[in-house]
Structure 1
Amino acid sequence: MRKLLKKISSAGRSKHTREEKKDRIHVAVIPVVKSEAQDEDIPYVPPRASLEGLPVEIQSAVLLNICDIASLQRLVHASPIYHSVYIRQRQAILERVLFNSIHSDVLYDAFAAITSRTTLTSNLEDRVARVKAFLLEYKDDRNTWTSPEHLDLESVSRLARLQNQVQHATEDLCQQAFSSYPFIGNQVEIREQLSSNERRRFHRAFYRFEIFCTLFRDCQSLSDALLEDGDITPELDSTEKSSLFLSLFNPWEVEELACVRDYFYNYYRRMLHKFEPDLRDRNPNVDLSDDGPWLEENIEYLMALSLRFYRRIEISSPDRQVGYLNYGLTCGSPSLSDALKTPSWADVCQYMATDEPVEIHFQGDKVRSGLNVMWLWTTGNTMDFGYFDWQNEPLREWGYVFWDQQRLKKWGVPDEEYETWVERRRARLRKALAEDPRKAGLML
Structure 2
Amino acid sequence: MPFFTLETLTPEIQALVMRNIDTVRSLKSLLHASPRLFQVFRTRREYLLTQVAFNQFHPDIIEDVWTLTKALQIPRSAPLADIHDFVNDLSLVDNDYEQHSMPPSTIIPLCKVGTTIAWFIEDYKRSSLELLTDLGKYMDLQQDTETLESDLSIVEKGRLQRAFCRFETCCRLYTVAEGEDATYQHFCQARRYLRTLLADDVEEIACIRDYLVRRLWGVFEAMEDRAVQEDPGSTIRKLGNVCQPHDWFSRMGKLGHRDYMEYILSQGLGFLREVLESDGLKRAEIVISHSTRRTNCISKALSDEGDKSSYEISVDYDAGSYDGEGDYIGDGLDNLSQGLVWANDHKVPSDWGRWPLKGLRDWGYMFWGGRRLQASGVLDQDPRIVAEYLFNERSDRRSVEDRLSECPWPNNPKSCQNWANNPLHEFARRPEPENFEEVID
With the length of structure 1 as denominator, give the TM-score of the two structures. Answer: 0.69
The answer to whether 1:85 aligns with 2:42 is no
C-alpha distance in structure 2 between counterparts of 1:389 and 1:437, whole Å: 29
Distance apart, 1:419 and its partner CA: 2.7
Match of 2:171 in 1: 213
Contact 1:254-1:387 at 8 Å conserved across structures: yes
The answer for the alignment partner of 1:250 in structure 2 is: 198
1:131 paired to 2:83 = yes
RMSD: 4.0
| Within-5 A mapping of 1:34-433 | 55=7, 57=9, 63-73=18-28, 75=29, 80-82=32-34, 85-86=37-38, 88-89=40-41, 90-120=45-75, 127-138=79-90, 140-141=91-92, 145-154=95-104, 155-181=106-132, 183-185=135-137, 188-190=145-147, 191-220=149-178, 235-236=183-184, 240-241=188-189, 243-276=191-224, 277=227, 278-284=235-241, 285-287=247-249, 292-314=254-276, 318=280, 320-343=282-305, 347=307, 350=309, 360-362=317-319, 364-365=329-330, 367-389=332-354, 393=358, 395-422=360-387
Aligned residue identity for 1:256: E
How far apart are residue 434 of structure 1 and its match?
3.5
Is contact 1:111-1:159 (8 Å) kept? no
CA contact (8 A) 1:69 1:160 kept: yes
Secondary structure of residue in 1 paired with 2:380: coil
Secondary structure at the residue paired with 1:401? coil
Superposed CA deviations along residues 107-141 of structure 1, whole A, max 9, x for unmatched, are 22222223224544778xxx222111111111x23
CA distance in 2 between partners of 1:382 and 1:134 (Å): 34
Q: Structure 1 counterpart of 2:291, which letter?
A: L
Compute the displacement of 1:246 (Å).
Answer: 1.8
CA separation of 1:338 and 1:146: change in aligned 2, threshold 3 A: same
Contact 2:50 2:101 in 1 (8 A): yes
The amino acid of 2:213's aligned partner reads Y
Residue 418 of structure 2: aligned partner? 434
SS of structure 1 residue aligned to 2:156: helix
Task: Indicate the residue corresponding to 1:25 in structure 2.
Answer: none
Q: Which amino acid aligns with 1:202?
A: L
Displacement of 1:63 in angstroms is 4.9
Instruction: After TM superposition, give the deviation of residue 417 of structure 1 in Å.
Output: 1.8
State percent identity of aligned pairs. 21
Residue identity in the other structure for 1:146: D
Which runs of 5 or more residues in structure 2 are unaligned?
Answer: 228-234, 242-246, 321-328, 396-414, 430-441
With over 3 angstroms needed to count, the CA separation of the structure-2 counterparts of 1:80 and 1:378, relative to structure 1, is closer
Deviation at 1:82, TM superposition (A): 4.0
Q: Please name the residue that 1:227 is paired with.
A: none
Deviation string 1:78-113 (CA, Å, 9 cap, x unpaired) is x84247734751444433333332112222222222
Shift, 1:148, TM fit: 4.1
Distance 1:202 1:180 in 2: 17
CA distance in 2, matches of 1:115, 1:433: 53
Q: 1:351-382 CA deviation, whole Å, 9 max, x = no partner?
A: 8x99xxx9821154455543101111111212
2:407 corresponds to: none
CA separation of 1:56 and 1:291: change in aligned 2, threshold 3 A: farther
Q: Which amino acid aligns with 1:69?
A: V
Change (3 A) 1:193 1:255: same
Contact 1:273 1:288 in 2 (8 A): no
**Residue 38 of structure 1 corresponds to which residue in structure 2?**
none
Amino acid at match of 2:175: R
> For the residues of structure 2 that align with 1:122 and 1:189, how far apart are their CA atoms?
45
1:28 matched residue in structure 2: none
| Unmatched runs of 5 consecutive residues or more in structure 1 | 1-31, 33-52, 224-231
Q: Structure 1 counterpart of 2:99, which letter?
A: E
8 Å CA contact 1:279–1:326 kept in 2: the answer is: no
* Contact 2:58-2:158 at 8 Å conserved across structures: yes
Distance across 2 between alignment mates of 1:81 and 1:443: 53
* Structure 1 stretch displaced more, 411-420 or 372-381: 411-420
- Within 2, Cα distance between the matches of 1:178 and 1:70? 27
Distance 1:368 1:424 in 2: 28
Residue 294 (structure 1) shift: 1.5
Letter matched to residue 80 of structure 2: V
Name the stretch that deviates more: 175-184 or 89-98: 89-98
Q: CA deviation at 1:305?
A: 0.6
Relative to structure 1, the CA distance from residue 98 to residue 165 in structure 2 (aligned partners, 3 Å threshold; closer, same or farther) is: same
**Conserved in 1, the CA contact under 8 Å of 2:83 and 2:173?**
yes
Measured in 2, the distance between the counterparts of 1:322 and 1:362 equals 46
Change (3 A) 1:325 1:295: same
SS of the aligned residue for 2:295 comes to coil
1:286 partner SS: coil
